[in-house]
Amino acid sequence: MIRQLVVRSFKSLAHVEVELGRVNLFIGANGSGKTNILEAVGVLGAAASGRVDDESLQRRGVRLGLPALYKTSFRGMRVDPFIHFLADWQASPRHASYGVGISNPIEAPRPAWLYRTEKLTEDGRTILGRSSASKRRWNPEAGLAALHLVERDPEAPAALMLTALRDFVIYAPTTAALRAVVPDPQSREPVGLSGGRLPEAVMELLRLRFARRQDSPSGHAVLKPDAFYRRVTDEARRLISWANMYGAGLRSAGTLSPGVPSGRMTLRFRDRYMVEGRNTLTGYDASEGALYVLFAAVLAGHPGVPPFFAVDNFDHSLNPLLARALVERFCAWVRDAPSVRQVLLTTHNPLVLDGLDLTDDSVRLFAVDRREDGHTDVQRIVVDSNLLKRAGEGWTLSRLWVMGEIGGIPNV
């Protein structure tokens, strides 16, 4: 996993170092720099893939902007010509790191950003590097690490790290995309960055409940329910309290009004309180909360989701109590997934914090604030004697946040 992220001279992140866990939640005021942290990883991922341009950034969910808006520029501060990123990957006892410096002329922006420095290490040994002092003249628009990945053992630490960075995406679900009434601007499998492929992804996840094959006594291959996928889909259904069934299927007559724009497939729910035969709802009719619950279940459980990803505004459209329950389940799903996953989340909902188990070191909470000079500051909230004392007095994390005890609140 990526254990440390260092960012310098990117947007409001003049110099930020973050020690990451498995699930990482960032809280803070609007405009404090939470999304900038996610996008910094997105730009680093583009650099690890070999090219940083609008296409590679948009594919990862990074908002497009002019070079002048990507570079840190505070009053009284010298503008660094480079934006610097560093990621450290660790899986004891193996270690790897990737650092890169990129730039793009503010006065005459180029389609692709230029690589100025680049360094890849593995177990303390430098595998490749370049700088302005390099004797060899490399193509400044092409990253060396991506070329090295082709010839590297895919299980080597450097390869695992570069693959995780290369495949990193920022999910930002929208209700319209989840309802499949507007196209997803980035319909990457399995679910699309805005959730436009949710029906297809839910169907695939449900199929995985029976995806593991075993031989029957008769010699025929049969499908055996898989415990993890069964658990995720069952717990997601219980979080949707009004439904006793959900699934997905092809759009057909009688399921949606002809005037409703929709994709080829639609989600379907069965309302437990309605009369049988008239209790089937589609994703267009269902509550927003149900759609976001299934979206989170897909991200935690679907094997096609990248091993390293982010969700901006994880609590979007969720009732506070549902948000708390969902983040608790989501952390457990990520922890118990068949393959290692690492997640960055942002939220504005205080109740989300109460779903975190901060005694588990793999689950980490960060308060994001803007200092008086405008720089973004990131502080990890750790379980110490003071936090335990407040908890013993009945103070929840959500209450501590709202009362300004742990940072990350707006100055209003």
**244-284 per-position pLDDT tens digit:** 999 998 876 556 666 676 667 889 999 999 999 889 998 88
Six-digit token string for 232? 């995720």
**286-312 per-position pLDDT tens digit:** 999 999 999 999 999 999 999 999 999
Domain regions of the chain by residue span? 1-168+306-412, 185-304
Lowest mean pLDDT across 27-36, 168-177, 247-256? 247-256
The pLDDT of residue 196 is above 80: yes
Q: Which of 342, 365, 341 is nearest to 354 (CA)?
A: 365
Cβ neighbour number for residue 320 with a 10 Å cutoff = 14
Lowest mean pLDDT across 33-47, 122-136, 249-263, 324-338? 249-263
Mean pLDDT of the chain: 91
Look up residue 208 and give its DSSP letter: G
Q: How far is CA 249 from CA 199, 204, 358, in A?
A: 8, 11, 39
Q: What percent of the chain has pLDDT over 70?
A: 93
pLDDT of residue 307: 96
Bridge partners (DSSP) listed for residue 370 = 376
pLDDT of residue 321: 95
d(CA 310, CA 297): 14
pTM of the model: 0.94
Cβ neighbour number for residue 125 with a 10 Å cutoff = 9
Q: Which of 319, 257, 316, 302 is nearest to 282 (CA)?
A: 257
Six-digit token string for 98? 């990737």
What is the residue-wise DSSP string for 319-377? Answer: -HHHHHHHHHHHHHHHHH-SS--EEEEEE--HHHHTT--TTSTTEEEEEEEE-TTS-EE
The pLDDT of residue 316 is above 70: yes
d(CA 145, CA 100): 10
Lowest mean pLDDT across 52-61, 88-97, 102-111, 208-217? 208-217
Lowest mean pLDDT across 59-63, 149-153, 344-348, 355-359? 149-153
CATH T-level assignment (fold) for domain 1-168+306-412: Rossmann fold (3.40.50)
